[in-house]
């Protein structure tokens, strides 16, 4: 105790050095931990990147123009572009009211629209394949 009382500065310095050394060890350990977790995350990111690449490739494969063309021709009624000369004059339509005589054209109620039945798309060799089928033919030779 006397030693501590007589050498306050020295004791402070010793404790400070020990404390700082301990702090340094803790900090360095944390740095290693962070390094490890960053490396782990990098590896996970790399795996995810490969997954994303596969998904992007799959998306590009599924949205190929010929495939979309095939699907649209099967399920969407084709709409021709509005040509410059396609705008024609519309004459006013005259029709009779319900009180009009029977000789006049009667107003008929509109038919309830019925769903349009379309045939399933024709399967062709390349376009009907799904992505995994394609991957199954991507394999190369030795």
Partner 1 sequence: MSLLNRWNKNIATLISTRGEALYVGRTRLRIVQSICLLLFALVLIRLGDLTLMQTPNEPNIDRKHASVQSMERADIVDRNGVLLATTLQVSSLYADPTLIENKAFVANQLEAILDVDNLISKIDRKGRFVWIKRGLTPSEHFKVNALGIPGLAFRTETRRFYPQGNLSSHVVGYTSVDSRGLAGMELEYDDRLAQGGEALSLNMDVRVQHALVKSLRLQMDNFNALAAMGGVVDIQTGEVVAAVSLPDFDPHHAGKADKSALRNRFAQGVYEMGSTFKLFSTANYIEKTGKSFSKTFDAREPLKEGRFTINDYHAEKRILTLPEVFIHSSNIGSALMGRAIGSENMQKFYTDLGFMDKMDVDFPGNPKPLTPSPWRDVNTLTASYGHGIAVTPLHVLQAAATIANNGVRPTLSFAKDAQHDPIQSRVLSASTAYKMRQLLRLNVTDGSGKQADVPGYMVGGKTGTSEKAGKGGYDKDRLLSSFLGVFPVDNPRYAVLAVLDEPKGNKKSHGYATGGWTAAPVVGDVISDMTRVLGMMPNPKAPNLTAGLSRYLKKENTITPASYQR
Residues at the interface with partner 1 (CB under 8 A): 7, 9-10, 13-14, 16-17, 20-21, 23-24, 27-28, 31-32, 34-35, 38-39, 42, 45-46, 49-50, 53-54, 56-61, 63-66, 69, 81-87, 126, 132, 134-142
What is the spatial distance between Cα 135 and Cα 132, in angstroms, rounded to a whole number?
5
Q: Least distance (Å) from partner 1 to the CB of residue 91?
A: 21
Nearer to partner 1, 113 or 142 (CB): 142
CA neighbor of 99 nearest in space, from 111, 109, 87, 107: 107
Q: Least distance (Å) from partner 1 to the CB of residue 32?
A: 8
Q: State residue 21 phi and psi, 5-degree precision.
A: -60, -45
Q: How far is the CB of 102 from partner 1 (least distance, A)?
A: 44
Q: For the chain, where are the alpha helices, taking DSSP H only?
A: 2-6, 8-62, 65-75, 131-138
User: Looking at beta carbons only, is 46 or 118 nearer to partner 1?
Assistant: 46
Q: Which is nearer to partner 1, 13 or 107 (CB)?
A: 13
CB of 2 to partner 1, least distance (A): 13
Distance CA 81, CA 83 (A): 6
Phi, psi of 41 (to 5 degrees): -65, -35
Q: Based on CB atoms, which residue is closest to partner 1, 22 or 104?
A: 22
End-to-end Cα separation, the chain, in angstroms: 81
């Amino acid at each position: 105790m006397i030693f501590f009382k007589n050498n306050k500065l020295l004791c402070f310095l010793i404790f400070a050095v020990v404390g700082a050394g301990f702090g340094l060890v803790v900090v360095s350990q944390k740095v290693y931990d962070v390094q490890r977790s960053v490396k782990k995350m990098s590896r996970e990111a790399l795996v995810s990147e490969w997954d994303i690449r596969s998904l992007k490739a799959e998306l590009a494969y599924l949205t190929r123009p010929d495939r979309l063309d095939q699907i649209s021709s099967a399920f969407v009624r084709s709409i021709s572009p509005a040509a410059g000369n396609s705008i024609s004059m519309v004459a006013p339509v005259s029709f009779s009211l319900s009180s009009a005589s029977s000789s006049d054209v009667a107003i008929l109620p509109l038919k309830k629209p019925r769903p349009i039945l379309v045939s399933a798309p024709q399967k062709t060799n390349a376009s009907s394949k799904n992505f995994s089928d394609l991957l199954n033919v991507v394999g190369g030779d030795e």
